[in-house]
Amino acid sequence: MDKIKLDLFLLKSKQDLVSVHEFFSKSIKKWFTKDGSPKAEYFHVRACPICQAELSVEEFEIDNFAYHRCLSCNSLYTKPHLRDGVLESLYSDGTYQYYQDNLVKKGSKLRKGILEQRKFEQIRVLLEKDEVDLLDVGCGSGTFLDICNENGWNSEGVDPSPNSTSTHNITIHHGDFNEMSFEKKFDVVTFWGVLEHLSDPVLAVKKACEVLDPSGMIVFEVPSANCFISEYLKKVPFSPTRYIESGRHNIFFSKTVIEKIAQDFDLEIVSIETNGLDLQTILLEEFEVDITERIINMQDTLNDLLLGDHYRVFLRKTV
């Protein structure tokens, strides 16, 4: 299926990107001392949150967070790492809603009409089923669920925020996905930009396998540890308004770890691609149409090489 050549600033304006980044930077100041050191009440040193290996090397530091590369699975993660429950407080106190209102909802028309529609089409083509039960974990504003519902799928959502809703009265389960029970199995479980926020993303994948129908599919999109911008940050550290999202994106997945997850849970990698906005994130400037088109075409080439800043992965359960 053809990829979408996306202009970042049509999806999220520069002003909104900057204001949301500044808002979150202020919101998480309480986690650090005046000299920028992480406070022990909010952080702890832990092994790799994906493969549990102890050894790592620091790659770069951004917004007082140190990002380490695991020497076993090649993923990136913050070290020291946020303690369990710290990030969840951003959802319960309404802080995350600021992100939803000022970035996600403002681009909802483009997101739903193009991006969410492509997600649906990708799954539809790979699943090859007419009657589909889908569970979207971390459903947020519910635009992906709405697309699925409008196309006749039986869709439900999970989200930790009590403010998450759907325009079609779709069932939304509020709380911790790992602690939930469901009355049925699902043909598809999706995680769109969710696993990187969790303290134990592998546990969430395990839970998804448990609620998945035989031959069902798990789909997730996560920030990449192998992308162009991660290499650029090693040479030219700066504070990006997206991709890193300090305090929220705490784990970056490598292709190695994606293959390991598939192997450990008897899943087949049906498809993998990258969807990145590395270049516009780095430049954070709007240019004339012809220059913007060249930048977008360069980004498209990076995605062809699997060097875009987010992996999109389709895993099928093997019978």
Cis amide prior to 80 (ω within 30 degrees): yes
Helices of type H across the chain? 8-11, 14-27, 88-92, 95-99, 108-110, 117-127, 143-150, 201-210, 228-235, 255-264, 278-283, 289-304
pLDDT tens track, the chain, 319 positions: 788 899 999 888 899 899 888 888 888 899 999 999 999 999 999 999 999 999 999 999 999 999 999 999 999 999 999 998 888 777 666 666 666 665 656 556 666 778 999 999 999 999 988 899 999 999 987 889 999 999 999 999 999 876 665 556 789 998 899 999 999 999 999 999 999 988 899 999 999 999 999 989 999 999 999 999 999 999 999 999 999 988 889 999 999 999 999 999 999 999 999 999 999 999 999 999 999 999 999 999 999 999 999 999 999 988 6
Predicted local confidence at residue 246, as pLDDT: 87
pLDDT of residue 129: 86
Which of 221, 227, 259 lies closest to 76 in space, CA to CA? 227
Domains of the chain: 8-26+108-317 (3.40.50.150)
Name the region of 175 (left: φ>0; alpha: ψ -120 to 50; beta: rest). Answer: left
Please, what sign has the CA dihedral across residues 236, 239, 240, 246?
positive
What pLDDT is attached to residue 106? 56
- Can you tell me the distance from the alpha carbon of 17 to that of 295, in angstroms, rounded to the nearest whole number? 19
Q: Report pLDDT for 248.
A: 85
The reported pLDDT for the residue numbered 293 is 97
DSSP β-ladder status, 43-44 and 81-82: antiparallel
* Cβ-proximal residues to 100 (8 Å cutoff; 6+ apart), any chain: 140, 141, 161, 163
- The confidence score (pLDDT) of residue 97 equals 66
What burial class does residue 15 get, using C-beta atoms within 10 Å of its C-beta: 0-12 exposed, 13-18 middle, 19+ buried? exposed
